[in-house]
Structure 1
Amino acid sequence: MKLSMSSVLHLHAIAICLALSTAIAGASQTSTQQTNATLVREAFTNWQQGKGTVFDLLAPNARWTVAGTSPVSGVYASKAELAQVVRSITARLATPIVPTVQSIVAEDDVVVVLWHGRATALDQKPYNNTYLWHMTFKNGQITDVTASLDTYVLDDLMRRVEPAHQ
């Protein structure tokens, strides 16, 4: 089979278009990864400075799963449901949790953050916990989270400290 020069050029053009579209898709994916990681990094910085939290990035219908067997472990179907749980924890704290990020890893639409939180409980004992949050993004908002943490430390806080009346 003999290919004409125009057929060869046509095949080259198709190959170049495929290569470029793959490169553009890869660049777009990298850009999304960087954007999501930056959003998370900025949200943690704001939280550390008392100017917001990562929860500000949640979509209204975000699903949040707390792993383990603590009193708050389970699946929450919305930002509002999660807010109730967060209040049950913060009502036992004399100071806000201050986060320190150890690492942020992004791949596709997922950002994973390993972080440590410190606070003082109402009984003046320290609350120190380590968290690993696996967050899925869509259009700049977090839509799904699995939160892993030392549930023993959280369970101890929840059982030991009576919540302040809000």
Structure 2
Amino acid sequence: MIIKHRSSNIPGVLALLLLLVISSQANAQSVEETNSALIRQAFDDWENGRGSVFDLLAEDAEWTVAGVSPVSAVYPTRQALVEEAVEPIHAQLATAITPEVKHIIAQGNNVVVLWDGTATARNGAPYNNSYAWHLVMEDGAITRVMAFLDTWALVELME
């Protein structure tokens, strides 16, 4: 007995699956490109005295300074970060920190920025630090940060 199958639409299904995969990859690439461009522009603005990366923080952004030094902490909101960390650091500086971006790496909503910062402390000493920030983005805003840096250099600045 010969059983005849109705013609199948396997090529059509495969084409649709391929289209969905390509579309998904293009959308992820678009998100990565958008997030990377936003962060690059924020650092460029910061370097040129027209703002900073902190301008992209969502109000409820959580910022973690990694490590076990006295300045390592978790700041649960943008306001807490600015009041408890950014403003006290700026108060110890005679010049603003000038960032120099080394790399920006984006994958989906995650952006990692490797950068060096230089400034002069109020006492005239140089402040130099290297940073690795892991940023989580949502709709063009930074919602979570894990900041890696030489926290002991920051402790020295704050003393």
- Report the TM-score, using the length of structure 1 for normalisation: 0.90
Q: Which residue of 2 aligns with 1:80?
A: 79
**Aligned partner letter, 2:18:** A
Q: Report the Cα distance in structure 2 between the residues aligned to 1:65 and 1:112, rounded to whole angstroms.
A: 14
Tell me the residue number matched to 1:57.
56
Which secondary structure state, in structure 2, belongs to the residue aligned with residue 59 of structure 1? strand
8 Å Cα contact 1:70-1:154 kept in structure 2: no
Structural mapping, 1:10-21, within 5 Å: 10-21=9-20
Q: Helix, strand or coil: the match of 1:119?
A: strand
Moved over 6 A (4+): none
Residue deviations 1:5-51, cap 9 Å, x none?
A: 3x2xx222221111101110110000100110010001000000000
Once the two structures are TM-superposed, the CA of residue 105 in structure 1 deviates from its matched residue by: 0.6
Q: Which residue is equivalent to 1:23?
A: 22
Q: Distance in 2 between matches of 1:27 and 1:80?
A: 36
Return the alpha-carbon distance in structure 1 between the equivalents of residues 5 and 40 of structure 2: 55
Give distance in 1, aligned partners of 2:4 and 2:117. Answer: 69
For the residue of structure 1 that corresponds to 2:96, the secondary structure is coil
Tell me, in whole angstroms, the C-alpha distance in 2 between the residues paired with 1:15 and 1:36.
32
Consecutive unaligned residues of structure 1, counting only runs of 5 or more, are 160-166
User: Counterparts of 1:96-115 in structure 2 under 5 Å?
Assistant: 96-115=96-115
Aligned residues: 156
Structure 2 stretches lacking a partner, 5+ long: none
Paired position in structure 2 for 1:131: 131
Q: Equivalent residue of 1:99, what SS?
A: strand
- For 1:95 and 1:46, the matched residues in 2 are separated by 16
Shift of 1:158: 0.9
Aligned partners of 2:86, 2:95: CA distance in 1, in Å?
14
